[in-house]
Structure 1
Amino acid sequence: MEQVISVSPVVLPAPGRGIDLQVRISAPIKGAQLPVILFAHGFGNSLDGYAPLVNYWAARGFVVIQPSFLDSKRIGVSPDDPRTPDIWKIRVADMKQVLDQLDDIIDVVPGLQERVDTSRIAAVGHSFGAHTSGLLLGMRVIGEEDDMSDARVQVGVLLTAAGNGGADLSPFAAANYPFMNPDFSGMKKPALVVAGDKDISPLTVRGWDWFTDPYTMSPGPKSLLTLYGGEHLLGGISGYHVVETSDENPERVAAVQQLTWAYLRTAFYPEDTAWQDAAIDLTQGKIDNKGDL
């Protein structure tokens, strides 16, 4: 485990977006050939969120980049703003802009450019951010012609990602979130799906198993981590001592930290058995797999 350096905001001009794109970059102060995690926050959060995960990943050999999306509370885009219906698309565009300007972002940290392996990139997201990351991995939205996947992203982690649309949506979700009609059949890249078995959402008429759809309805290779007792914030992953965490549980957060890191480590370096080793030690939940990682 290494010490971590974090720089924010790194400002990227974004003509047509209405406001420049701001990101945070976090990296270990030592180490080489560091893979990149592009992290998408949940609705209303920002580049300053998810420190329990970001710090853990960066301290163990990843460069983590976090954009602030237009739905962030600190930006304050109103519901009647003309951009609001397309925020889900703008999120993906923001992630792609980060990839387009990856070298510029990395250059902000002195000496980091020589230590990063930009051929290994993962898309990770929580909640709304998992929808964003899923689109980069090949998920489609039914009724939308655009394929938003990105070949630069090889693997992903989807934390409490929304499931199937249509009749599985609550009336509120069906009326307000037309983008919540995913087609997972094209999400062929390796991904870890994480769900909590106490995550009951107002967005669906189903139970917690709705959050396992990205695993069950997509082709392998995929893995599913089900966390016992986990609600939507999986014990408190969005920050230290955040008030919105209803299932605060440090052990559950530790399981998410360890297993997400281990999954990505083995995904990028198949000779490393970190994922298999972490799975053996798991006591907070269970793991299902389909296809080879």
Structure 2
Amino acid sequence: MLRRRAALVTAALLTAALTGCSGGTVPAERTAPSASPKATTPAARPPAGHAPTESFAVGVRQLKLNRDGHRALPVVLWYPARGAAGGAPERSAPAADGRFPVVMFSHGLGAQPEDYQPLLSRWAAAGFVVAAPRFPHTSTGSDGNVLDVLNQPADVSYALTQVLAADEKPDDPLHGRLAVDRVAAAGHSAGGVTTVGLFTAGRDERLDAGIVFAGTALGVGTAFAGAAAPQLFVHGQADEVVDYAAGKAVYDAVPWPKAMLSLPKGDHGRALLTDGAALRVVADTTVEFLRWTLYADAAAKRRLPADATRGGLATLDDHL
């Protein structure tokens, strides 16, 4: 009975936090109770390097995955491609030469990977392979079982294994194109919960960094564990779904290098979906963060504060 009650409470809180159409908010005190972070080891930093300075054309393709035979997980891949930069992503375009870090992206409740193409294609153009699973119970047109968010960290870890395996397959278009030892996770809203879970209850030690957009720690907790992995939080201070204070509470619990990009006029994340000044600030800031954490590009870290505060659209709490 106690277990059933706990499940019902968790479901209610997750639903309140992540269902955008509800119009409700989740105050800070409703986030999962903070736990003292487990002992962590310093991050194994790659040798100092330089991220690509050129912008790439972008290719897009899909992997059809299925975890345990009953969790269909189609994955959209955006990747650096050959050709002229600046155009729309081209389906199945040949991959550009080089080895590129991988970013796993988790969509929000009632969304799908393609909704985030304006942001994710920018990451690919900057020299990252972006892999975004479509989750079986929280995506567009699914049954909307919000509790299934708690299964999604394992989905992402499974999808990551399959994506990285492509580097060793001679017949795969990404054969020899993946920097398999340089991986980050990112996600929005319910995908933010998923991403936090990948560094707490479902820690995936392959992950070197994380980006949480409008996320909270409901159901996954704040017991960050494992090797240090820098984290960037992005949250609108006018978020109508996940209260800004709730996201800030999770950020405060991170024991590693971290920064929080706050948008005073930002809502729950529409800036991630459409082109505009706010998206450009978010995209440029996250690209510099990924360049620093995955390419070990020190110059990118130095540029990050200026990109974050350009135009006065956002502020940056910087502890990187």
Task: Give the TM-score normalised by the residue count of structure 1.
Answer: 0.76
- Which of 101, 105, 112 is equivalent to 2:162? 101
- CA-CA distance at 1:108 after TM superposition: 9.8
- CA-CA distance at 1:275 after TM superposition: 3.0
* Deviates most, 54-63 or 106-115: 106-115
Report the counterpart of residue 77 of structure 2 in structure 1.
25
Distance 2:254 2:132 in 1: 26
1:85-234 alignment, distance < 5 Å: 85=147, 87-105=148-166, 110-137=172-199, 139=200, 147-162=201-216, 179=219, 182-186=221-225, 188-201=228-241, 207-233=243-269
CA contact (8 A) 1:7 1:109 kept: no
Report the counterpart of residue 38 of structure 2 in structure 1.
none
Greater share of helix = 2
Output the amino acid matched with 1:251. Answer: A
- Which of 277, 280, 289 is equivalent to 1:263? 289
1:236-269, CA deviations, whole angstroms, 9 ceiling, x for partnerless residues?
A: 31x34xxxxxxxx711111111101110111123
1:172-208, CA deviations, whole angstroms, 9 ceiling, x for partnerless residues?
A: xxxxxxx2x622454852110111111133x6xxx52
Aligned residue pairs, count: 247
Structure 2 CA distance for partners of 1:5 and 1:258, relative to 1, 3 Å: same
Distance 1:2 1:53 in 2: 14
Is 2:271 the counterpart of 1:236? Answer: yes
Distance 1:59 1:219 in 2: 31
CA contact (8 A) 1:124 1:130 kept: yes
Report the counterpart of residue 14 of structure 1 in structure 2.
67
Distance 1:270 1:89 in 2: 31
Structure 2 CA distance for partners of 1:127 and 1:117, relative to 1, 3 Å: same
1:104-136, CA deviations, whole angstroms, 9 ceiling, x for partnerless residues?
A: 556598542212101000000111101111111
Distance 1:98 1:59 in 2: 22
Structure 2: segments with no counterpart, 5+ residues: 1-54, 82-95
Structure 2 CA distance for partners of 1:198 and 1:75, relative to 1, 3 Å: closer
Report the counterpart of residue 245 of structure 1 in structure 2.
none
Output the amino acid matched with 1:258. Answer: D
Structure 1: segments with no counterpart, 5+ residues: 140-146, 166-178, 241-248
Distance 2:295 2:186 in 1: 17
CA contact (8 A) 2:123 2:287 kept: yes
1:205-258, CA deviations, whole angstroms, 9 ceiling, x for partnerless residues?
A: xx522221222122121111111211111x431x34xxxxxxxx7111111111
- Give the RMSD, CA atoms, in angstroms: 2.4
- CA-CA distance at 1:272 after TM superposition: 3.3
CA contact (8 A) 2:138 2:144 kept: no
Distance 1:47 1:108 in 2: 27
Output the amino acid matched with 1:225. Answer: L
Report the counterpart of residue 104 of structure 2 in structure 1.
38
Structure 2 CA distance for partners of 1:88 and 1:259, relative to 1, 3 Å: same
Distance 1:109 1:230 in 2: 44
SS in 2 for 1:289: strand
Task: Give the TM-score normalised by the residue count of structure 2.
Answer: 0.70
1:3-46, CA deviations, whole angstroms, 9 ceiling, x for partnerless residues?
A: 111002x11133353x4221111101124120000001111112
RCO comparison, higher one (Cα < 8 Å, 6+) = 2
Is 2:311 the counterpart of 1:285? Answer: no
Is 2:302 the counterpart of 1:276? Answer: yes
